[in-house]
Structure 1
Amino acid sequence: MNFLFRAKAKASKFFRTFFGKKHSRIGIYGPPNAGKTTLANRIVRDWSGDAVGPVSEIPHETRRARRKEDITITGTNGSSISIDIVDTPGVTTKIDYHEFLEYGLEKDEAVRRAREATEGVAEAMHWLRGDLDGVIYMLDSTQDPFMQVNIMMIGIVESRKLPVVIVANKIDLPDAAPQRIRSAFPQHPVVQISGMEGKNVESLYETMTQVFG
């Protein structure tokens, strides 16, 4: 399956280059429960009326990468980009089945989810090694942005020389501090939004057309 998709991606890239049409594959990355799937669903719904997948307060609800193809986003100045959105599992340095027990899951289900989440992180890293043209890195603006996983992931994205937009999510919450994220990663554009309420997503779309276009 991965081989066929990579072959399709290479063929698609050839035709886009030959015919001069800009098309990018954008991965949404970040730690668990940062709001990645909520944002992916909002982007896809806003521009195609569809959705990517379910969301949940339970960590690692997304345990496999999910994608939606051919989403066209238009900025206020008329510029547009055509993208495939890839919603990836939450990246973390440790996955423990006890996390799931805290949400009332039975042990067998918790162990299964932990195993699938671990496999999902490996899959997300595989995508990052060569199947993406850019990254949206999602952060919960109520949390410390200097966590090890964030420093590591931004470093990997930079080493791949991929364009990145950092999203400071959940600004609707009273303890949100998006300015901490701006201070942590001043080398990259940071857009503060509420993915749940849709606040300031137009600014994110404008930034996406500029960075990924």
Structure 2
Amino acid sequence: MKFLVRTKQKISQFLKTFFRKRTCRIGIYGPPNAGKTTLANRIVRDWTGDAVGPVSEVPHETRRVRRKQDITITGQNGHSITFDIVDTPGVTTKIDYNEFIEYGFEKEEAVRRAREATEGVAEAMHWLREDIDGVIYMLDSTQDPFQQVNIMMVGIIESRKLPILIVANKNDLPDASPARIKSAFPQHPVVAISGLEGNNVDELYEQMTSYFG
């Protein structure tokens, strides 16, 4: 009898686990060097004390998708959200190994990095098609937001009917223009922050709990 009771308990626990709704996955997408990994690290450090990966001024430093699981953030509104953060390689229409040579890499290493970065973009797009529930689209607010890759990516995300929160990063720089990003994508909420300095990140957390929760 005890064996049957234990067996039923194990089956019940298995069914609860199997049918439990998975944690939502929020992907950080955007062009190279927009500050995606810097933001991912800040989110993870603020709420878990951990980190996602290294950052660098060299383009395409992140060449594989990285994920940190079960992060819970709480906004001042009292809303909480638990999610996996998915840090993705910078999406671009073309990756040239000469980009790496300009930063002092030998040709063989530059070619290897370019190949890995290209594979990383393909991996990021696969995640977007299959495994992402919401997107933080990261833009450098000192750059022109009307670039082809941004228009293309926002269109792809919209076609999947995923919620998009646009982050205008690097607002600590004198030539930053978050207003230009808002004019480029008026159909989506835009939060201006500095991922490096932490400026206005609390407002981003507030928006995340309301928008993705």
Task: Please report the TM-score for the alignment, with normalisation by the length of structure 1.
Answer: 0.91
Q: Write the distance in 2 (CA, Å) between the matches of 1:79 and 1:122.
A: 34
2:89 match: 89
Q: Write the distance in 2 (CA, Å) between the matches of 1:93 and 1:48.
A: 34
CA deviations on 1:63-122 (whole Å, 9 max, x unpaired) are: 000000000010101110000000000000010000000000111110000000000000
Task: Give aligned pairs, total.
Answer: 198
CA deviations on 1:109-151 (whole Å, 9 max, x unpaired) are: 1000000000000000000002011000000000000000000
Q: Aligned pair in 2 of structure 1 residues 203, 123: CA closer, same or farther (>3 Å)? A: same
Q: Which amino acid aligns with 1:16?
A: K
2:196 match: 196
Q: Write the distance in 2 (CA, Å) between the matches of 1:109 and 1:16.
A: 43
Q: Write the distance in 1 (CA, Å) between the matches of 2:211 and 2:19.
A: 22
Q: Write the distance in 2 (CA, Å) between the matches of 1:12 and 1:107.
A: 49
Structure 1 residue 67 corresponds to structure 2 residue 72: no
For residues 78-157 of structure 1, the aligned pairs below 5 Å read 78-157=78-157
Structure 1 residue 38 corresponds to structure 2 residue 38: yes
Greater C-alpha Rg:
2
CA deviations on 1:144-165 (whole Å, 9 max, x unpaired) are: 0000000000000000000110
1:173 match: 173
Q: Which amino acid aligns with 1:129?
A: R
User: What SS class does the counterpart of residue 16 from structure 1 fall into?
Assistant: coil
User: What SS class does the counterpart of residue 173 from structure 1 fall into?
Assistant: coil
Q: Aligned pair in 2 of structure 1 residues 141, 99: CA closer, same or farther (>3 Å)? A: same
Structure 1 residue 55 corresponds to structure 2 residue 55: yes
Q: Aligned pair in 2 of structure 1 residues 121, 72: CA closer, same or farther (>3 Å)? A: same
Structure 1 residue 16 corresponds to structure 2 residue 44: no
Q: Which amino acid aligns with 2:27?
A: G
Q: Write the distance in 2 (CA, Å) between the matches of 1:77 and 1:104.
A: 48
User: What SS class does the counterpart of residue 21 from structure 2 fall into?
Assistant: helix
Q: Which amino acid aligns with 2:21?
A: R
Q: Aligned pair in 2 of structure 1 residues 110, 181: CA closer, same or farther (>3 Å)? A: same
Identify unmatched segments of 5+ residues in structure 1.
Answer: 1-10, 18-22
User: What SS class does the counterpart of residue 37 from structure 2 fall into?
Assistant: helix
Q: Aligned pair in 2 of structure 1 residues 108, 190: CA closer, same or farther (>3 Å)? A: same
1:161 match: 161
Runs of 4+ in 1 over 2 A off after TM superposition: 11-14
Q: Write the distance in 2 (CA, Å) between the matches of 1:12 and 1:180.
A: 46
Q: Aligned pair in 2 of structure 1 residues 13, 108: CA closer, same or farther (>3 Å)? A: farther
Identify unmatched segments of 5+ residues in structure 2.
Answer: 1-15
Q: Write the distance in 2 (CA, Å) between the matches of 1:43 and 1:14.
A: 28
User: What SS class does the counterpart of residue 129 from structure 1 fall into?
Assistant: helix
User: What SS class does the counterpart of residue 84 from structure 2 fall into?
Assistant: strand
